[in-house]
Structure 1
């Protein structure tokens, strides 16, 4: 078990769940990391189902959602999700992966009792994957980091909404059983829950991307005259951007949690290699160039962990945590990029092979610096807030 993770403020119940998740990932999930069913667009559906069956049998399926529908605190969730991330396949096996984890959180917060009954149970038990349809193709001037640029439209027609548009980078759309679609009406942004597949929602292609841990990959989608019953709107018309923030702040932090786990594991592998590999008459770790990189890793990993718990504590107060999650996303993604890069460097030629997960973690973390908002967008948002605060103080 990892002995360096924080336990302060985490209940014995949550620590027991976290330890159970870690034991499961290390013993039962890690052996699948070189499975031939792992492809460029993620694990196959067969492999995903096999891993989830193992998680279900071990009692670690959606471990942060408690029996009866309760939810661990964000601080407790961090303790669990970090450990689920110790393998790139861990979040899939434990069903703590994106986009499902964020979609379950949003549906639990905003969904009507009818929508929860229809969709949430199958998501929590892992029998159904989901997708979140927000980002749009840049060449068409669609929404990316700026959701206000949304081009996908929705209009009322009788007791149905009709949706048209194109989406891109839609994680897990291929093989998903449910989707949350964001579109704009005359009242503003709206969200809809839809059953998948649907003939009006067409996968144009699955993109070849730098990461490869998420089932279904990332797809380009065309939506042509999709008819959605009015009672499948999530919340109220025009409130879509508000609901997106309900989802995005905690989901952004969950990404930090899972990928911290991945980097902890990569550091363990690099440390083992540096202590076993001899060069110039002594183990690599005894050469300052390598030993110092591992020491810097330990510092970055601890700072990332503490940043995650700080933001989790803010969310646990009921605050939106928009600013704090932006700060955490920047700090954690950049720190973990340094960690992953050092792990590759410490291992030399072995670090760029697929013989260990270090090479994959490096690729995944590089993508993480863009997913859920690039570093630069979050810094820009924080800079605007700094300017607003300065102006308010100057005028006081």
Structure 2
């Protein structure tokens, strides 16, 4: 097993690290650089995005013919981790959710016409996008078979009615990927549609207030009340919506983990820096065994997360689905992120709980990690099902 990375990947990682250090991190202490919802404001974001594009650090996850650098999942793991040393990083490099996952699935599954119309504007940074799947009770959440939004074909168009909620980025999105039911078949009953924000027949009912901070465009509740979508804007084909979600959600869950590792490492970095300077009762915090044990444990847990992410990335790069690998990474890294920032706040004391550092931002953000893209318990049930089915072969090494 070779755990080294190619020189080309290391070059991208080092350049991203310098860019984040020089241009992105300084904005975190400038309150004017934040928008009303706790994310980077659009003016500094657009300026940094132009710089990232000029330096060839843009859309690294996509193929060169699409406008990216073709790093593959393993290269992405290295670079995304470095991007998210800053809370603003992924958006600067056009590698933030939900655009990230939407671009990858459109690149993989879209027709040439769909790539030109729906993908390229996102790649070029001209528009943002959203993925409309989750529904309020009793509709679908982690279980897509519960989907209630329906699409009825009428000639060369589909007419769509239903409700969605917690749709990330919807308020600022121009391009939407929408999941709706076209039949009651358990495997081929769902279809993916592409629609523009200017199309009539849908509306945003509210931007849902959350613990925050929020992605650009928030998390919205949407009503579809007669949206019409032409047949040429069906993604993959009628009845292939479940397949499309599998193509999109697995890699998207893993890219979340890649980014979360960057935030976990940043939390440890802030804790280490403060512990090295802060004294109490004549002893530096860094010299206290209790602090050393906490930080030493985090170093191990973060490294376990990195290995789980890299194994899943390797499996995806070689053409596998990496379902169990992604689930393991998702559960472990989400919990590590929460533990890392919680520990960092504890070491920093009142300073960590204040807005003098980004720890409180990361802490609020981290709590959603155990919910988005499948709650911990859902992935754990899936893993148990896989283990029960496979028996001892669940842990079998693949043979070259």
SS of residue paired to 1:204: strand
What's the Cα RMSD here?
A: 1.9
Q: Give the C-alpha shift of residue 289 in structure 1.
A: 1.9
Aligned to 2:339: 338
Q: Give the C-alpha shift of residue 268 in structure 1.
A: 0.7
Q: Give the C-alpha shift of residue 287 in structure 1.
A: 1.3
| C-alpha distance in 2 between matches for 1:366 and 1:301 | 17
Aligned to 1:118: 117
Are residue 170 (structure 1) and residue 171 (structure 2) matched? no
What's the CA shift string for 1:306-332, capped at 9, x where partnerless? 111111111111011112111111111
Contact 2:152 2:158 in 1 (8 A): yes
| C-alpha distance in 2 between matches for 1:213 and 1:85 | 15
Q: Give the C-alpha shift of residue 66 in structure 1.
A: 4.7
**What is the aligned counterpart of 2:3 among 8, 20, 25?**
8
Equivalent positions of 1:370-389 (< 5 A) are 370-389=371-390
| C-alpha distance in 1 between matches for 2:268 and 2:199 | 43
Aligned to 1:292: 293
| C-alpha distance in 2 between matches for 1:146 and 1:205 | 24
Moved more, 188-197 or 65-74: 65-74
Aligned to 1:195: 196
Q: Give the C-alpha shift of residue 165 in structure 1.
A: 0.7
Q: 1:345 to 1:219 in 2, by over 3 A?
A: same
Q: Give the C-alpha shift of residue 391 in structure 1.
A: 11
Aligned to 1:245: 246
| C-alpha distance in 2 between matches for 1:299 and 1:188 | 44
| C-alpha distance in 1 between matches for 2:379 and 2:332 | 10
Aligned to 1:158: 155
Q: Give the C-alpha shift of residue 18 in structure 1.
A: 1.6
Q: 1:267 to 1:150 in 2, by over 3 A?
A: same
Are residue 144 (structure 1) and residue 141 (structure 2) matched? yes
Q: Give the C-alpha shift of residue 41 in structure 1.
A: 6.3
Aligned to 2:327: 326
Contact 2:176 2:194 in 1 (8 A): yes
Contact 2:260 2:333 in 1 (8 A): no
Aligned to 1:108: 107
Contact 1:88 1:213 in 2 (8 A): no
Q: 1:51 to 1:392 in 2, by over 3 A?
A: closer
What's the CA shift string for 1:20-72, capped at 9, x where partnerless? 11211121111222433333364444444334233223432212335323621
Aligned to 2:96: 97
Structure 2 spans left out of the alignment, 5+ residues: 395-400
Contact 2:35 2:42 in 1 (8 A): no
Contact 1:51 1:92 in 2 (8 A): no
Q: 1:272 to 1:169 in 2, by over 3 A?
A: same
Q: Give the C-alpha shift of residue 358 in structure 1.
A: 1.2
Contact 1:51 1:93 in 2 (8 A): yes
Contact 2:39 2:88 in 1 (8 A): no
Aligned to 1:205: 206
Aligned to 1:269: 270
Contact 1:41 1:218 in 2 (8 A): no
Q: Give the C-alpha shift of residue 208 in structure 1.
A: 1.3
Equivalent positions of 1:37-76 (< 5 A) are 37-40=34-37, 42-69=39-66, 71-76=70-75
What's the CA shift string for 1:291-316, capped at 9, x where partnerless? 22111121111111111111111111
Aligned to 1:3: none
| C-alpha distance in 2 between matches for 1:38 and 1:82 | 24
Contact 1:135 1:167 in 2 (8 A): yes
| C-alpha distance in 1 between matches for 2:197 and 2:256 | 25
TM-score normalised to structure 2 length:
0.92
SS of residue paired to 2:314: helix
Contact 1:207 1:220 in 2 (8 A): yes
Q: Give the C-alpha shift of residue 242 in structure 1.
A: 1.0
Q: 1:177 to 1:299 in 2, by over 3 A?
A: same
